[in-house]
Amino acid sequence: MLRHLLPDPASVPVEPDRLRELVAGREWFHTINLGHGVITPGIDDTPAKLNWLDFPESLNGKSVLDVGSYDGYFAFESERRGAARVVASDKHCWESVGIADGRGFDIAHWALGSKVEKRLISVEEISPASVGMFDVVLFLGVLYHAQDPMRYLRHMFSVCSETLILETHTDGNDHDEPMMVFYPKGALNGDPSNFWGPNVACVEAMLYEVGFGNVEVIWQKATRLVVHAHR
């Protein structure tokens, strides 16, 4: 278990050679600057996403929930930008094997001396009772994995006191009316966990339906979409 490999950063300084060994010993999805001259070799150019997410420059004093945190880039970036409390949640990934097994998050957490709270919890389990309320909820790359997208969005609304930042795959954008495309048996990218491609109108309509009062389309390109939904 990785926890036996990683000392408490509050008591044991990070050794750059050991950090490089741990980083090199696994695959990474997120590209994270861990300091000590080490950047994770992620297959995703994660820092480049900050602009098109319109990620807040300052989160001073805010509480942030990062749902589907994976290697934790956006949770750690929220902490770096001054968030008072950050919770990183995942279950689908962190209970799997290989690149998505959660060890990347643990290594980054140790290397950064982070105070981000790690919660092994599914989207269906997220509620004010289980995790609390948050000023900002990050819901990045998760919606199209939902068998029941409306249920996922209701859970996000229930814990969001200010703003939801949502990024998702879309499809059917040649239609003006809200619609979703269903992907059976891994039809999207050979991944059986990809279920739905909502169009932009559908994403907006679903967010209003679950209770958000204002939905802004922040960025759209081909089959990707970013919206900010406000209470």
**Cβ atoms of 43 and 29 closer than 8 Å:** yes
Specify the DSSP class assigned to residue 132. -
The residue count of the chain comes to 231
- Residue 3's pLDDT is 43
pLDDT, position 11: 59
Count the neighbouring beta carbons within 10 Å of the beta carbon of residue 14.
18
Q: CA 27, 28, 32: angle at the middle one, nearest 5?
A: 145
User: Does residue 229 contact residue 207 with C-beta atoms inside 8 Å?
Assistant: yes
Question: Which residue ranges in the chain fall short of pLDDT 70?
Answer: 1-11
What pLDDT, on the 0 to 100 scale, is given for residue 4? 42
Q: How far is the C-alpha of 204 from the C-alpha of 191, rounded, in Å?
A: 25
Determine the pLDDT at residue 1: 37
pLDDT of amino acid 88: 98
| Predicted local confidence at residue 8, as pLDDT | 52
Range 45-230 classified under CATH 3.40.50.150: yes
Q: What is the pLDDT of residue 186?
A: 82
Domains of the chain by residue range? 45-230
Gap between the Cα atoms of 199 and 102, Å rounded: 31
Nearest CA to 199 out of 219, 176, 215 is that of 176
Tens digits of per-residue pLDDT, 72-124? 999 999 999 999 999 999 998 899 888 989 999 999 999 999 999 999 999 99
What integer pLDDT is reported at residue 6 of this predicted model?
56
